[in-house]
Structure 1
Amino acid sequence: MSLTRETRRQVDAHRRALHEEYAAAPVFEETFEISRERFDDMARVASDGYLHGGAAFVVAEGNLLLQRRADTGEWGVPGGGWEDGETFAETAVREAREETGVECSVVGLRVLHHQRWVAAERDETIHSLGAFFEADYLDGTLRATDDDVDEVGWFTSLPADVATVVERFAVVADEH
């Protein structure tokens, strides 16, 4: 089976399973053109499903947990890629703990982000899926605990320098 068909099959299966487990959530689809080198790197891990990941919109007393990324300077929600044997929700919880020091509990699925990665010189596409969850704060001391994170904080509204994808998903959730 081609890489395009296999990664699309994985995304479709994950979408169905997540919608069955958490009820239907909006799906945001986006296509990115990437370099041949990046495409080749992604292709090496794509067949094992390691391009998928989870993130958490953690809320406590009406405040949203955000982290400022060291590489972009933008604020976003904690999240990242799967590790062996994890579910999307387990990934989101682990990433929140690793990046912010916060323990959280997933309470629902906010939105799915279906990404298509295309190299201009290739006739193939790699599909990946990000699951963004609603999560409640449980415990923990807020601190930047990961080298990729410069700062963490609780927000009552989105800062001006929030990542576009987080801003978009905050709006999507409010509309549904």
Structure 2
Amino acid sequence: MPTELNETRVRTCKDRLLEHYDGVSVRAKDEVVSDELFAYLRTVVRDGYVGSGYVWVVRTPDQAAELSDSMGPNDQPDGARVLMILHRGSATWQVPGGSVESGETFEDAAVREVQEETGIECTVQDCFRLEHLRTVADGSDERLHTLWAYFDGRYRNGCISIQPSELNGAAWVNTKPQSVGESLKTRAEAWFDE
């Protein structure tokens, strides 16, 4: 039986989120990684990493910038849009977010990461998905636990300005990108088909 690392902390965080939000989809996910990656992840977990928060940020047409004089009369806002990002080295669109730091909630981390990665300020409205990730390696008798939380959010302020050390791009999209992250497929299909 493997030694469980971070299981209690992840369970506590997951329980808090499930008590606070209704109708959250919860998924347990097992992954096997290389011994080298596992050693790195073990160090990160032992240093306090519990997981990451991400936000599905929606901007409504009335929150878009005013059109410039050079735009024609038919160039009007065309509905709500979602903020999506493209990480360096990836062709898959995701939503912004990242690691929970010491003393932060998953919500606080998600909002901070959106601003750091994209320059966009947002608020968290709801939690729609939790992923409890259990990571093992063939050469280890340990299992690492982390939690990924996905929130619905609303645009508050700002213009896209990407963090170039992490991203190749970001955009407000109103049609489903060809390649969307696995954790977002159900949300994307439902939202873009509305």
TM-score (norm 1): 0.89
Q: After TM superposition, give the deviation of residue 173 of structure 1 in Å.
A: 8.4
Show structure 1 runs of 5+ residues with no match.
none
Q: 1:66 corresponds to which residue? A: 84
For 1:124 and 1:10, how far apart are their aligned partners in 2? Answer: 16
Q: Residue in 2 aligned with 1:107? A: 125
- Of the three residues 124, 129, 154, the one matched with 2:172 is 154
Alignment map for 1:156-171 (pairs within 5 Å):
156-170=174-188
Aligned: 1:37 with 2:55: no
Match of 1:49 in 2: 48
SS class of match (1:72): coil
Q: Deviations over 1:6-60 (max 9, x none)?
A: 4221221111111112234111221111011111111122134314110000001
Question: Relative to structure 1, is the Cα distance of residues 110 and 147 closer, same or farther in structure 2, using a 3 angstrom cutoff?
Answer: same
Cross-structure match for 1:17: 16
- Separation of aligned partners in 2, 1:171 and 1:116: 26
Return the letter of the residue paired with 1:40: A
Summarize the Cα distance change of 1:3–1:120 in structure 2 as closer, same or farther, 3 Å threshold. Answer: closer
Structure 1 segments (4+ residues) deviating >6 Å: none
CA distance in 2, matches of 1:3, 1:13: 20
Query: Retained in 2: the 8 A contact 1:26–1:172?
Result: no
Tell me which residue corresponds to 1:144: 162
Preserved CA contact (<8 Å) 2:10 2:50:
no
**Aligned position for 1:87:** 105
2:147 is the alignment partner of 1:129: yes
Report if the CA contact (8 A) 2:118-2:163 is conserved.
yes
For residues 29 and 190 of structure 2, what CA distance do their matches in structure 1 show?
14
Following the alignment from structure 2 to structure 1, what is the Cα–Cα distance between the partners of residues 36 and 123? 37
- What's the C-alpha RMSD, in Å, of the aligned pairs? 2.2
Q: Match for 1:47: what amino acid? A: R
Q: Tell me which moved more, 115-124 or 99-108.
A: 115-124
Q: What residue number does 1:28 align with?
A: 27
Instruction: For 2:19 and 2:89, locate their aligned partners in 1 and report how far apart those are by CA, in whole Å.
Output: 35
Q: Quick check: 1:27–1:112 contact (8 Å CA) kept in 2?
A: yes
SS, match of residue 114 in structure 1? strand
How far residue 171 of structure 1 moved from its aligned partner, in angstroms, is 5.2
Q: Distance in 1 between matches of 2:59 and 2:151?
A: 14
Q: Distance in 2 between matches of 1:171 and 1:16?
A: 28
Return the offset for 1:157.
2.6
Which protein shows a greater Rg?
A: 2
Q: TM-score, normalised by structure 2?
A: 0.81
Figure out how many residues of one structure are paired with residues of the other and give that number: 173
| Mapped contact 1:42–1:51 kept (Cα < 8 A) | no
Partners of 1:157 and 1:129 in 2: CA distance: 29
Distance 1:26 1:172 in 2: 14
- Secondary structure of the 1:5 match is strand
Note if contact 1:111-1:173 (Cα within 8 Å) is conserved in structure 2: no
Query: Which ranges in structure 2 are unaligned for 5 or more consecutive residues?
Result: 61-79
Shift of 1:162: 1.9
Does the aligned pair in 2 maintain the 1:158–1:167 contact within 8 Å? Answer: no
- For 2:132 and 2:188, locate their aligned partners in 1 and report how far apart those are by CA, in whole Å: 16
Structure holding more helix per residue? 1
